[in-house]
Structure 1
Amino acid sequence: MRENIQKLVDYTATLDGDEKGEAQVFCDRFFQAFGHQGYKEAGAILEFRVKSKKSTNFADLLWDNRVLIEMKKKSSKLQSHRTQIFDYWWKLRPNQPKYSILCNFQEFIIYDFSLQDEPLDRIKIEELSDRYTSFNFMFPKPETPIFRNNLEEATRKTASLVAAVFNSLVERGEDRGRAQKFILQAIFTMFAEDYNLLPKDIFTQILIDCLNGSGNSYDLIYGLFQQMDTRKRARGGRFIEVPYFNGGLFTKPEAIELTEDELDKLHQAATRKWNKVNPAIFGTIFQSSMGKDARHAFGAHFTSELDILKIVQPTLIKPWRKKISKTKTLTEMKALRRELSSYEVLDPACGSGNFLYIAYRELKRIELELLDKIHIEFPKSASEIGTQSIVSIKQFHGIDFNEFAVELAKVTLMLAKEISIKETQEWINTIQTGLPFQMESTLPLDNMDANIVFADALFTEWPRADVIIGNPPYQSKNKMQKEYGIEYLNKVWDAYPNISGNADYCVYWFYKAHLNLDYGGYAGLVGTNTVTQNYSREGSLDYIVKNDGQIFNAISSQPWSGDAVVFVSIVNWKKGKYIGKKHLYVENEKDEQVEFIVDVINSSLSLEIDVTSAKTLKCNKNPKMVFQGQTHGNSGFLLSKKKGMEILLENPNSSNVLKPFLIGRELVASIGSQPNRFVIDFTGRNVIEAATFKNLFEIVKQKVQPEREKKAKEQEDKNQAALEKNKKAKTNRHHINFYNKWWLLSYGREDLLKAISNTERYIVCSRVSSRPIFEFVSSKINPNDALMVFNFEDDYSFGIIQSKAHILWYQEKCSTMKGDPRYTPNTIWDTFPFPQKPNLNKVKKVANAAVELRNKRNELMKKHQFTLRDLYKILEEPGSNPMKILHKRLDDAVLDAYDFDKRKDILTQILELNLEIYSNETKGVPIESPGLPSFITNSDEFKTNDCIQISTSSSAYT
């Protein structure tokens, strides 16, 4: 292998380094050096087309999802081509390669833009045989590459050390606020030391002296921080060359005497290369490691640069590049520079400042692109324009309700400024203008106290901004109440009456962002994917599109890279008309993001027909036919199956209140869909009636009553506190009500029990499922709240509900729970129309197809000891399958009953039927309600008797 790599090195020495004439043969030899026959045999493509709106460019080589290679002529400055290869990589979304390589026949620069903006490594061609491990991803069987500039790894290690010092300070009793301030001052000092803002190694040497017993940490570190806060230079001593920093960070220098272990860890941190610490992720990793053991930094999540760029690129980078490309005259370019200097960016949930850091970095690069264009197209005016930067961190604003995160964000932006100065210097050296570098003033530091503020964004006036970006906090309504308390929720609901109290917490940021945007302004926010659903959508995306907003770039759903284990939607919009095609990214069945270019992005971020206009149908709500199962609310109501059976044998009369209790997981993932527990259900009975079942009543009294009493008392105390502050405050009686009826399930669903009491069986499906599987259940079994109950006994109704038509409507109209679709009756069932004009023959075809499907299903499960989940997993596999044939037969029969055109979109036809029925209801025209059509006089003809029943034998299939 080394010989092959050396052959490449020797061969490259014979080349002239012509970008056009020799790039392809070099790429072929490059692949051969790493064990391939050539690039073509490996599956790579030369001159790969990279399309954009107005043009097509050609990347020199693309190899699947592994690597993108762009060749440049010999001696060209590779760093100056970073923007080009990044643009190629970005336009390859959503199927971007992991690595991107720039090469000029003399040197390689390797990037992983999804991980960091800086190169992972730079390798001279003559070093290749010794440094080939950086290209481990190039082998036919790839291995983990070893890079010298992996900023994530370096950042994690450094954050872990600094967090360990902070944790030690707090654990030994140091004031937390003082410890935080001290650590922030130390962080910036270590950074400043590596960026030559301080005399070389001054802080590191202080730590060494303290470790050696040559000084006291309290005195020396405090002395350094104090000098950094003093405008007058020291007249002598070791701080004589220390300049004035302040900027708010050193307004109050902190003094803490460190232990030997703390000194050692801080010294280890100081000796690390702080130019390899990525400020975009440092704050999050450090903050999430506070209060945790040393290993936590290596497991801490942070928002990846790629995910941040999914907002910053469409809302900031792309609009500015478009403006720059349109400028023709020097006057236009000067005007654009002035506009750039007054451009304001806001993150109203800024955390430790990672969004603001990326936005600032990219706006500075936009400024360099504009300067580059001026210097190239108007060289005679170059000296007039100069190289002075006019973009300031003062144009960036943040709000957060975590006080320490706010301080971290200020430091993050201070670091960003120093890094950008270095990058500007490199740009000037690259273009070799001959003009002096008009350096921004690095010191004193900018005071960011007025820009990054500690406040509740929902109750604070936002500064004006041209673009609003960020990742607001995620909390569902129920978790909000637990986390923030009823008093705070009352305040939120009063302030935002247009938003449903059932909406996700992040919805308020979407609403307020659009409210605060000027016409023509841009916004990009991350939200839970509930912003595309029901109440949350109404308060966010519906509000945006109904009030001059146009969504132009969005990701319907993806797992988030940050701390929260949640699926998110990423939404970029403009207030006002957006000219051009819109880009919507939707996951396919393989969980891969697929890009679709569309004319309009609807508020459900869906490619399908926008079914948000579907109307609620009275015939679906009255009589009520769909119910959520019972919520027991306390495990004291539950007994094992064995215990339940024993009680029933001893006292058969207990069957009136002791019921098998079926949950969603058991329905789909247990043999025979057998309930494993019984529930003590006194629903509909008062305490005296419940007490007649003595043994069961005593069980509930011992296990349930004490806990409910405790929770009720806690809630009474909270309510009292809220009323003392605000006499009109809404109070929560959730647990108080439960205690007042402690012998009853939390939600016994009396209406459900009454409905199914008149039937032999009912239909259920798991409430949370990507593809719902429907089954009949005996009315002697109680359904848990993880099940949706459809109170129909007939096979025709089962056929309609199990069909593709209903499932497609479900998938489009459902809400989601951590990425999984959830059946919500008010949006799905209440709007789903049943066939309106089926004849008897069509009704029989649907019923017969439904029976045939269930019979085959039961036969296969019994024969192979499969669960429903086992059976339907196989259904997803390619190839012939008797279940596929039977599902297709049922789907065809149902579409025929609807009289739908199979060549047309099913959802469109369901929506049209929904609107037709709604119109007929308002006019008093007769319609067909869900269930058997009204002309059927003998419903028993359409009822079989198969259903899930409790089994008392060793086999579930009896």
Structure 2
Amino acid sequence: MNFTQIENNIQQLFKVIDKKSFIYDLLLCYGVPKATIKRLRDGGLNLGKTNDEIVWKKKLYFREEHKHDLHDLIDDLKDDFYINKHDPRFVIVTDFRTLLAIDRKTNDTLDISFEEYPKHFDFFLPLAGMEKAKNKDENPADIKAAEKMAKLFDEIKRDNPTKNETQVHNLNVFLSRLLFCFFAEDTGIFGKKQFTKAITSHTQPDGSDLSTYLNKLFDVMNRDSRNRKNLPAYLEEFPYVNGGLFRKQIDVPKFTKRSREAIIASGELDWSVINPDIFGSMMQAVVTPEQRGGLGMHYTSVPNIMKVIEPLFLTKLNEEFEKAIGNKSKLEHLVHRIWKIKIFDPACGSGNFLIIAYKELRRLEMKILKELNSIALSNIKLSNFYGIELDDFAHEIAILSLWLAEHQMNLEFLKEFGRTKPALPLKDAGNIICGNACKLSWESICPYSLFDEIYLLGNPPYLGSSLQSDLQKNDLIQVFMGFKGFKNLDYISCWFYKASQFIHDKNIEFAFVSTNSICQGEQVALLWPKIYSYNLEISFAHTSFKWSNNAQYNAGVTVIIVGVRNKSNRSKYVYKENIELKVSNINSYLIEGPNLIFDRRSKSISDLPDLVRGSMPTDGGNFSLTKEEKDNLIQHYPNSIKYIKKYLTGDDFLNDNEKFCLWITDEDLKEASKIPFIRKRLDAVREFRLNSDAPTTVEYAKFPNRFRQIAYKDSDCIVIPLTSSERRKYIPIKFLQSGTVATNSAGVVYNSQIWHFSILTSLMHNIWIKNVCGSLESRIRYSSVLGYNNFPFPTISNEQQKKLEKTALKIMEEREKHSEKTLVQLYDPEIMPDGLKDAHFQNDLEVERCYRSKPFESDEERLEYLFRLYEQMIVEETNLGTLFEIEKKKRKNR
């Protein structure tokens, strides 16, 4: 559903309001499927506890309220535990006179009279999959332009349905030409508002002749002076544009009164200053969600682009300029070098990285020419800027955007030097290719010759293996065929590997924005040895930071930036929270240290007791019992108590939720099945498994009393949540007595001792897990085979074990002092009790004394020490021919 359709739907809805069905009718306006609405009405999706509220998990909370003040109510709801638990994007309250809402993702609020809603319908566009745009500054080409263009696109598309690729391409080219004309008439390329005035004055109000008129106009703009004889004055006043923009004959869309008015309305905006990231978001507002999400048109803010280009090449060039000031030959050498630099973005989207790189090089060129007191004009050519883009529309916009950027920089040059190249006719264009970067030969697109200096950069698409389309899976096969395990790689790995091949033994470097997953967990072992095989190294890295940009559909992800080059003696830098650290080496985990690759291990390298994943029920929730269900069952069938155990998920023990489960052995099955409640639950388990798409699960339907995978042992244990917030200084683990079944959302260490608790809740362990294991978004994802089993801990004496046991018991004691609080509350860094903080601090000191007597000064120092110890332990294992050596041989044979 597009922008215009939603706006029309809302206007129709507010003509006659049915209060009882309002929220359902509203959701329909945003394209929510009728089947989903039915499930909300019937209660299947509605998690609300009362009749006057709707709770749709991850989506919205809605409440009709007439007794209480709405402002007080919504303030209370902000901190409501139940709402936070279900994490709705929107909280909405209304009495049908006033409507209040909170967007919990952006923290935007809405406070309006009810009848004003149609003016503010865009507040809830995320319900239709369209994120609200955030404007960076007071740029005149702001989001209003995006909205105008989106409306124009919707109008044109409605009257001109595209049925094949040629028609889609023609529409894309047409929109590119339109944008150029809007820009040209506001920046001195054309006369002031020349294009918009011409449409207003020379075409019929009903739009019937606009298509013919634009065909003539585009044809004229492709004619040089030799081919302009006998043109009418109203056409002749438009200049020759050249550059290929108007060269191809296309079928211009048909227009109506509404679409003509939409073009004129767009032209009336001020297009004189276009910020590339705003321009990119404008294009994003026009493109369909399917194109944008599936094909990877990524839009990055200027500050994030600078995080890539500055350490990649711009900082070095600026430093050379500073050193060359006052030395004519050095300045001339530098400017000639800049004129030859090639920039290549193999996933260029609408060209944002290329545009910013072009502008920054032009500005540096101006500084050099000014220092030289030169009369030369700019000699940085658009033909030195290369790109590959899968989406045809983005590819057209990238070419156009580079022309616009060139004109902007020519105006800056004119202001500085009083001279510049004429705006028209356009000269060369950027070498932007529409195609699949995973299948194309990069060398054929951006050729390399001796003495070339090339920089690859960009923000390629990233998708985990479970989210990849068939097309993307085929791309992985194309790039990594012949390698084992490549199907588990993130999609962006294709760009990292192809870039590594491209730069090998050449004067080329690359840097990409990426998901942090490629530098965590099993991805490291799958990808980075392949990169290092080309004799490459990481030259700089920005560690994980929250993505932010100004585009619509702003993806809330955590990213990194990684620069790679051929091995060199030049300095390497790690950037952490905008602090620059000069380091000796950057390993695959983006920390200073040796290039270690942590592979999966079946046993702990430190001889710690086994950590297993908890028992997996695969039961459709039918083994689970609430406290009320458990009490009621025992009340009616006292003998049933022997079939019940305490039940714990990773989330349950963090939030202190009390649950129970049915635990029935094969020997007890016949007797337990005589209890109607239990028999009904086991039947439901059987039915759930029989309806599964997984053959192994269907097969297990014949054992409805058993958990699908059983790890439970009747002994004390340590339980570890398999995901944990990155905000926490410590992973909140728990020591449990026997009799509790932990599910597969938690890790369990059976046969553990209290001093093991001390190690696993320490800062040393938490830092290790944060860096070595993978993550879900930015949350820590705990892995036994990568994190726990590879964690290096030295052999310690009985006396040291007793000291660790003492500090562990102190932590448990401090927790008991706040038994009314959950582990989530206790380990929230902003409200963690001082006594618990101190208990952990003392525990950390004791754990760290097991490694060395000298205190560690920083987390970086702790991690570096752990890496070195791990490396030492691996060498010792290899020399002894122990388990590690056996595992290594197994890997070679696989």
TM-score over 0.5 (shorter chain): yes
Name the counterpart of 2:887: none
Residues 909, 551 of structure 1: alpha-carbon distance in 2 compared, 3 angstrom cutoff: closer
Name the counterpart of 2:657: 674
Work out whether residues 755 and 801 of structure 2, in 8 Å CA contact, stay in contact via their aligned partners in 1. yes
Q: For structure 1, list consecutive stretches of 5 or more residues without a partner in the other structure.
A: 1-147, 376-381, 430-436, 588-592, 713-734, 929-958
1:867-946 matched pairs, under 5 angstroms: 867-873=822-828, 881-896=834-849, 900-902=853-855, 906-907=862-863, 910-911=866-867, 913-924=869-880
Match of 1:626 among 611, 633, 637: 611
Higher mean alpha-carbon deviation, 526-535 vs 148-157, is at 148-157
Work out whether residues 241 and 424 of structure 2, in 8 Å CA contact, stay in contact via their aligned partners in 1. no
Whichever residue aligns with residue 576 of structure 2, its letter is V
SS of the residue 1:697 aligns to: helix
For residues 73-99 of structure 1, give each alpha carbon's deviation from its aligned partner in whole angstroms, at most 9, with x where no partner exists.
Answer: xxxxxxxxxxxxxxxxxxxxxxxxxxx
Whichever residue aligns with residue 822 of structure 2, its letter is T
SS of the residue 2:239 aligns to: coil
SS of the residue 2:501 aligns to: helix
Match of 2:360 among 359, 362, 366: 362
Residues 186, 572 of structure 1: alpha-carbon distance in 2 compared, 3 angstrom cutoff: same
Match of 2:345 among 339, 344, 347: 347
Give the Cα–Cα distance (whole angstroms) in 1 for the partners of residues 696 and 533 of structure 2: 40
For residues 365-387 of structure 1, give each alpha carbon's deviation from its aligned partner in whole angstroms, at most 9, with x where no partner exists.
Answer: 23222322322xxxxxx4xxx42
Instruction: Give the aligned CA root-mean-square deviation in angstroms.
Output: 4.1
Name the counterpart of 2:180: 188
Q: For structure 2, list consecutive stretches of 5 or more residues without a partner in the other structure.
A: 1-134, 449-453, 885-894
Instruction: Tell me whether 1:416 sits opposite 2:405 in the alignment.
Output: yes
Query: How far off is 1:158 after superposition?
Result: 1.0
Name the counterpart of 2:243: 247
SS of the residue 2:425 aligns to: coil
Name the counterpart of 1:235: 230
SS of the residue 2:255 aligns to: coil
Scaled by the length of structure 1, what TM-score is found? 0.66
For residues 620-668 of structure 1, give each alpha carbon's deviation from its aligned partner in whole angstroms, at most 9, with x where no partner exists.
Answer: 1799711233555674556551446545666678778876542222222
Query: How far off is 1:312 after superposition?
Result: 1.6
Work out whether residues 147 and 285 of structure 2, in 8 Å CA contact, stay in contact via their aligned partners in 1. no
Query: How far off is 1:569 after superposition?
Result: 0.8
Residues 759, 258 of structure 1: alpha-carbon distance in 2 compared, 3 angstrom cutoff: same
Work out whether residues 172 and 392 of structure 2, in 8 Å CA contact, stay in contact via their aligned partners in 1. no
SS of the residue 2:500 aligns to: helix
For residues 782-824 of structure 1, give each alpha carbon's deviation from its aligned partner in whole angstroms, at most 9, with x where no partner exists.
Answer: 3233322222342122222223332232233232221122212
Query: How far off is 1:557 after superposition?
Result: 1.2
Residues 793, 399 of structure 1: alpha-carbon distance in 2 compared, 3 angstrom cutoff: same
For residues 511-538 of structure 1, give each alpha carbon's deviation from its aligned partner in whole angstroms, at most 9, with x where no partner exists.
Answer: 2212212533222211112232233334
Residues 537, 583 of structure 1: alpha-carbon distance in 2 compared, 3 angstrom cutoff: same
For residues 765-788 of structure 1, give each alpha carbon's deviation from its aligned partner in whole angstroms, at most 9, with x where no partner exists.
Answer: 343333301102355433233322
Residues 856, 288 of structure 1: alpha-carbon distance in 2 compared, 3 angstrom cutoff: same
For residues 693-732 of structure 1, give each alpha carbon's deviation from its aligned partner in whole angstroms, at most 9, with x where no partner exists.
Answer: 74223213445544x3xxx4xxxxxxxxxxxxxxxxxxxx
Give the Cα–Cα distance (whole angstroms) in 1 for the partners of residues 816 and 506 of structure 2: 60
Higher mean alpha-carbon deviation, 597-606 vs 633-642, is at 633-642
Residues 218, 867 of structure 1: alpha-carbon distance in 2 compared, 3 angstrom cutoff: same
Residues 635, 422 of structure 1: alpha-carbon distance in 2 compared, 3 angstrom cutoff: farther
Name the counterpart of 2:562: 571
Give the Cα–Cα distance (whole angstroms) in 2 for the partners of residues 648 and 805 of structure 1: 45
Instruction: Tell me whether 1:262 sits opposite 2:259 in the alignment.
Output: yes
Name the counterpart of 2:771: 812
Give the Cα–Cα distance (whole angstroms) in 1 for the partners of residues 180 and 404 of structure 2: 8
Name the counterpart of 1:34: none
Higher mean alpha-carbon deviation, 347-356 vs 906-915, is at 906-915
Name the counterpart of 2:211: 218
SS of the residue 1:568 aligns to: strand
Whichever residue aligns with residue 856 of structure 1, its letter is E
Instruction: Tell me whether 1:850 sits opposite 2:808 in the alignment.
Output: yes
Query: How far off is 1:825 after superposition?
Result: 1.9
SS of the residue 1:558 aligns to: strand
For residues 334-389 of structure 1, give each alpha carbon's deviation from its aligned partner in whole angstroms, at most 9, with x where no partner exists.
Answer: 554443333211001101110011111122223222322322xxxxxx4xxx4232
For residues 31-58 of structure 1, give each alpha carbon's deviation from its aligned partner in whole angstroms, at most 9, with x where no partner exists.
Answer: xxxxxxxxxxxxxxxxxxxxxxxxxxxx
Work out whether residues 663 and 786 of structure 1, in 8 Å CA contact, stay in contact via their aligned partners in 2. yes
1:283-362 matched pairs, under 5 angstroms: 283-291=280-288, 302-325=299-322, 327=324, 333-362=331-360
Give the Cα–Cα distance (whole angstroms) in 2 for the partners of residues 149 and 268 of structure 1: 23
Name the counterpart of 1:13: none
Query: How far off is 1:259 after superposition?
Result: 2.6
Query: How far off is 1:924 after superposition?
Result: 4.6
Match of 1:763 among 719, 731, 734: 719
Give the Cα–Cα distance (whole angstroms) in 1 for the partners of residues 872 and 855 of structure 2: 19
For residues 393-442 of structure 1, give each alpha carbon's deviation from its aligned partner in whole angstroms, at most 9, with x where no partner exists.
Answer: 1111111222221111111112122222222212212xxxxxxx362563
Give the Cα–Cα distance (whole angstroms) in 1 for the partners of residues 863 and 766 of structure 2: 10
Residues 200, 842 of structure 1: alpha-carbon distance in 2 compared, 3 angstrom cutoff: closer
Residues 314, 485 of structure 1: alpha-carbon distance in 2 compared, 3 angstrom cutoff: closer
Work out whether residues 611 and 911 of structure 1, in 8 Å CA contact, stay in contact via their aligned partners in 2. no
Query: How far off is 1:469 after superposition?
Result: 0.7
Give the Cα–Cα distance (whole angstroms) in 2 for the partners of residues 638 and 157 of structure 1: 54
Residues 875, 339 of structure 1: alpha-carbon distance in 2 compared, 3 angstrom cutoff: closer
Work out whether residues 350 and 471 of structure 1, in 8 Å CA contact, stay in contact via their aligned partners in 2. yes
Match of 1:785 among 739, 744, 750: 744
For residues 837-857 of structure 1, give each alpha carbon's deviation from its aligned partner in whole angstroms, at most 9, with x where no partner exists.
Answer: 413x33233223323321331
Name the counterpart of 1:99: none
SS of the residue 2:555 aligns to: coil
Query: How far off is 1:243 after superposition?
Result: 2.9
1:82-161 matched pairs, under 5 angstroms: 150=137, 152=139, 154-161=141-148
Give the Cα–Cα distance (whole angstroms) in 2 for the partners of residues 217 and 503 of structure 1: 51
Work out whether residues 769 and 787 of structure 2, in 8 Å CA contact, stay in contact via their aligned partners in 1. yes
Residues 690, 504 of structure 1: alpha-carbon distance in 2 compared, 3 angstrom cutoff: farther
Work out whether residues 154 and 276 of structure 1, in 8 Å CA contact, stay in contact via their aligned partners in 2. yes
Whichever residue aligns with residue 219 of structure 2, its letter is Q
Give the Cα–Cα distance (whole angstroms) in 1 for the partners of residues 136 and 770 of structure 2: 45
Name the counterpart of 1:557: 544
SS of the residue 2:512 aligns to: strand
1:693-712 matched pairs, under 5 angstroms: 694-703=679-688, 705-706=690-691, 708=692, 712=693
Whichever residue aligns with residue 844 of structure 1, its letter is K
Higher mean alpha-carbon deviation, 408-417 vs 233-242, is at 233-242
Name the counterpart of 2:77: none
Give the Cα–Cα distance (whole angstroms) in 2 for the partners of residues 691 and 524 of structure 1: 66
Query: How far off is 1:739 after superposition?
Result: 4.6
Whichever residue aligns with residue 245 of structure 2, its letter is L
Name the counterpart of 1:469: 457
Work out whether residues 586 and 594 of structure 2, in 8 Å CA contact, stay in contact via their aligned partners in 1. no
SS of the residue 1:275 aligns to: coil
Scaled by the length of structure 2, what TM-score is found? 0.70
Work out whether residues 166 and 179 of structure 1, in 8 Å CA contact, stay in contact via their aligned partners in 2. no
